[in-house]
Chain A
Amino acid sequence: MPSDPRVAQALAALAQPIAEFRAAVQGALAQADAFLAAQTADAVTQAASAAKSLGVFGSHLDAAKFAAMFPSVAKADKASQAALTKAAKILRSVATQGDDMALAKVSDGRKLGATIDAALAGAGQAFGAIIITELVRGGRYKAAEHERLLDPSEFRAWNNAERRFAPPLVVEVAGADLHAGALLDFADGREKIVLVVTGDAPPAALVRCITPGTFVLQTVDGTGLDRLVGYEGPAIAAFLPEGAATFMHDPTAGKEPWQRLTVPFLPTTPFKAVGGFSAWQMEQDVKMLADLARTPFAVPAVPGAKGAPAIGAGDAVDRIASWLLGTSGIAGNG
């Protein structure tokens, strides 16, 4: 059980996609088990199975004859049975992991990208096992062609369908290891990655992940995780310590970066170097975030309002209206 409460918070937010992936694995496992059991079932067991499927009214049929004429599964050769047995073992191991299936931790000496790759490779193996299950059940398994499907499969080898059905991942990482560039390899399909960052961390590292189709979130309290889960594309989030920039890049919010980006909090210099991240680099990240969020027109301060509005806050139409009022010189007169 992870000690950091933010991990539990992230897992709770990702409960739905985790459950969906687990259901797919469990469904395939049930089918694999049933198929394997049927391979060795005697006539009595097969008749009982047929009787069940025909229901109570089916007592008017001879279940043994029915089972003989319509076997519940086709006979599989030894190679197919062996492959399916192995696939079932992989599926069972994933199914019994619980939430650990969606957890990873960047250990000392390992990189963020490699950690995620390794964690998702297990899921990739499960996808292979699901495919093997279907191939064997459909009588289409060919060892020479399909055996490799049961090897661990890294994200980059996944097909589009698998990427859309990718399991989410919560990764614990030290701030010094928060190399955002490594995350971009996984920004595809519907992959959801939430980083739980410990210790000092660069304040706006995830700004480097912002691309038009990727949901990117930096949060210090979990705000925005629900939006991340609802997004139908790839999403990357980081749970950062207090003092880091908080922002949300929601691709559904508009065409322009400033429409998609909301920045409730932007830290100010000076920054202190963390690991391999220099203070200058951090300053550039923050500046980039501010630039992306900046509207192409000035947002005037409303007289009497407490503080300046957050960058990117508010509806774009409001901001344009505010700008027009500001340029016309009538703002605040009413």
Chain B
Amino acid sequence: MKKLNFIIIIFIIFTFSVRIAHAVPKLSGDYETIAKGDNITLYYNPNTYTIAIEDRRNGYIWRSTVDSEIYNMDGTSGVLKNYMSSMFIINYAALGMNNPAIQSGYTGSDESTIETQKTENGLILDYDFPSAGIGFSAEIKIDGDSLVVRIPKEKIREEGQFGLVSIKIMPFLGAADREVDGYIFYPDGPGALMRYEKVVDRPKTMREFKWDIYGPQNVDYEEYEYMERFQKQQAMLPVYGIKNGQNAVIAIASEGEGEGSINLAPEGVSVNLNRVYFEFAYRHSFEIMLSNITVHGRDVAKMPSGTRIDRELIREDHEVRYIFMEGKHANYSGMANAYREFLIENDRIKRVISDGANIPLAIDFLMGVREERLLFDRFIPMTNFKQAEFITEEFIKNGVEDMQIKLKGYSKGGYGLYPINWPIDSRLGGKKGFRSYSEFAKENGIVLYMQANFMNALGQNGKFSKSNDVVRMGSGQPVSDAKMDWFLLNPASAYDRLQGFLKSIRNYDIGIAFEKIGEKIYHDYHTKKPFSRMQTKNKWEEMLDLVLNEKSHVAVEGGNAYVLKYADRLYGVPMESSDYYICDETVPFFQMVVHGMIPYSSDPGNLFYDDVEQKLKWIEYGCIPYFELTYKNASELRNTHYNKLFTSSYKNWIDNASEIYFEFNQNLKDIWNEHMVEHSKLSENLYKVEYSNGTLIYINYGEKDIQYDGQIIGARNYIIVEKGAI
């Protein structure tokens, strides 16, 4: 037996060593050692001006650019060669011109001059592009097990007619092809993987993909609408990861991430290498509208337009932190663990879930909604406060102890009329009903939220200034739909409104659930109160902080990284990626980072076609059970704008919801406050999730029983294996 083991080990070592030797040749002598971290070493090649990082644990080399020794660059064009041998690429364009051409500058080409300066544990590279009149500097250093690349704002130099548009950071770090066993992780929705070997299953022609961090950089109604319609997700977390064989790296945009985007080019797009990288914007382009008088066309309906870039530079520090992993940590679970640790260390995530707490049942009550009619819109009271209390009591009678209840559509005009009005609609019970319900909730230990939207505004609702309170595009036009009815609120105005709202509910013990602010940030070209994306982000944080100063809890829709420090609950957290052709697997990366810290829910369970599948997915993704209910029947909603709630009567759902609550608390309570440390897909229908206390959960979505690790997992079922049980 021992002999056999020995042979196997030798065999494994042999194959791996051959593999590594094949895939990653040793660094040439030109590279000199700059700094050493705990497990990694930073090298610099003064001839090519490129860096490389060695993971000393297994000798793997991460190169910042494509080495001609590894990748045959013969026959590639000059531009591509420059592209592949550049650590940084700048985009720039002429200022004040219509439709300026975006030009690129490569740090690996002759057009740039580089000055190198060594520091204590790294080096500073000063780049200058004389022809464009643009220069910047990159500070590279080793910090523990991570590499930090920083582009300080004060070192950006612009002289002349060109303006810096963006900088791409090390596009070819870790670039690999289909021969390598690995994948790229990108934070599309919950997270998704693009596996290198799956290139053969993809369409013949592919394109480069781009995710703007925290929501689209282009502020445009149609874009939002399109994303919503096709359920396209943004990057909620400013991270991406690369796994190459036994090594992996996670890149975190740790500063100025709101102006960043994640670009991913699959193998075959200009170069036969899979690559992913950050790009930071310094200027946005915006559409300018020209009237039809300048154009001699006859097409009156179509507004001819052009683009221009911002006059002012968006001066932000940008920093990327690369954390290296190897061995059994070299996968997306390892990346999630590393990112969670980073968030905890830097105090960027709050721990809400206390030890021993129950898993709460999340219920939304849709209270009122309006049906547009001939003379007067009809207000449909779906659930008034009395009825909400009645349903809550029924839940309590059933034995449900821990509930998080969210009220929507309580104000005049009902749900979906923004900005929200105060006071409470009298047809729902008015302030009196509200008070008695909130007191009832408090007595019974129920966490109660009022859902409020401080981002959207509808013209038909009024109560805001269409000139002063709304977000404007670069052209000076307000961001709006074709009917000029839908607007976004300027962040400063949103803040003022929140203050007013808090004053109104000063005497009630109730939390606020913010719609949308965990989903997007935007650039506002308002002349008096302009906001950059980062400033908007900071404003949202201030708003969350403001609520926390006065109220005990705050919930947020969406999960953009900046809300993790404040939110007591996240809702509307996606469980699906955008599902582009590069997506080979959707993974609960976001959930792995957040589980055990903040409770989160996804879509309501009553709107899915199969409650068993929904439950399994909730368990796999660690969501809290969540339903959106009403007292009246959903048929009342048929003619309203909210007819997507096609079944909601509490009578049909109360037992189902209670059962799920009990099931969750009976089976999953022990892991509720634990981190989700490993997630893996074992086979097409079987998933395994491991928690920080060692508990394992196997989930089988298939129609057949599966045996795994000596356990039988029933069809469409799950099992929980506590540590040491096997």
Q: Do A and B associate with each other? A: no
